[in-house]
Amino acid sequence: MKTTRFILAALACGGLLVAGCEKKTTPPPGSNKPLGGLSENPTSLYGRSAASGRSAARAVEANQAQAVAQAQENSGEAAALKVGVVEFRVPVTWQKGSPGPMQAATYTISTGGGEATCAFFTVGGDTGSNVNRWKGQMKDVTGAPAEAKVRTQSVGGMKVTLVSMTGTYTPASMSGGASAPVPGTGFRGAIIEAPGGSVQVRMTGPEGAVEEAAGAWETMVLGARRP
């Protein structure tokens, strides 16, 4: 009997110890983020390292895009297009059209999701103002400005700002009148800050068409160079 009582007491104590070990504490704020959120702090060592890593990854991405674009041109899959001082390699499957006002070139892109349009411009104004103008042309389902994904990287020694949005698009009217809003629109825009003036590349169309053409469009943009 004494042995049995001793075993039961030991088991009870063990259960208490296990219960105590299983007690969880509330993690400090930000601990659910990498390194407690330090990687998102641009002034911290981890933040600076993370930013450097992202910059290096984007540089590799741009170099790969330039290599792909060059290979496409060599194989006849892409043709050279010069806008200002910037040269692009445009997929030969894109159908060249007649440029509209202020456009340097325009192409129609046929996809399973419909037709998208890619236009090239050489226009003035700083990058920030042009990006804000684009944002003002796109609304979400509530009528508020659509969320814009904006990123920058260096391509061939030139700063490139890329913008991605979806929503109801109201393009600027060249005649000064009001343009009809177009719901379900996909938008990809790029501003390349080149010597002598910026070059803009803008693709719009049904969301599915733009999404399908986005890979080829970005390869073309990131493959840009100064001859």
Ordered by where they begin, the domains of the chain are 45-222 (3.40.1000.10)
Percent of the chain whose pLDDT exceeds 90: 57
Return the minimum-mean-pLDDT range out of 6-15, 39-48, 95-104, 180-189.
Answer: 6-15
With a cut of 80, say whether residue 10 has pLDDT above it: no
Mean pLDDT for 9-20 is: 38
CB atoms within 10 A of CB 166: 19
State the CB neighbour count (10 A cutoff) for residue 165. Answer: 24
What is the model's pLDDT at position 24?
A: 42
Is the predicted pLDDT of residue 75 greater than 70, yes or no? Answer: no
CB 221 within 8 A of CB 62: no
Give the chain's mean pLDDT: 79
Whether pLDDT at 129 is above 80: yes
160: which strand partners? 153, 192
CA–CA separation, 198 and 84 (whole Å): 8
Average pLDDT of span 161-173: 93
Q: Is the pLDDT of residue 65 over 90?
A: no
Confidence of residue 111 (pLDDT cuts 50, 70, 90): very high
Helix (H) or strand (E) holding 35: none
Is the pLDDT higher at 24 or at 101? 101
> What is the C-alpha to C-alpha distance for residues 203 and 209, in angstroms, rounded to an integer?
10
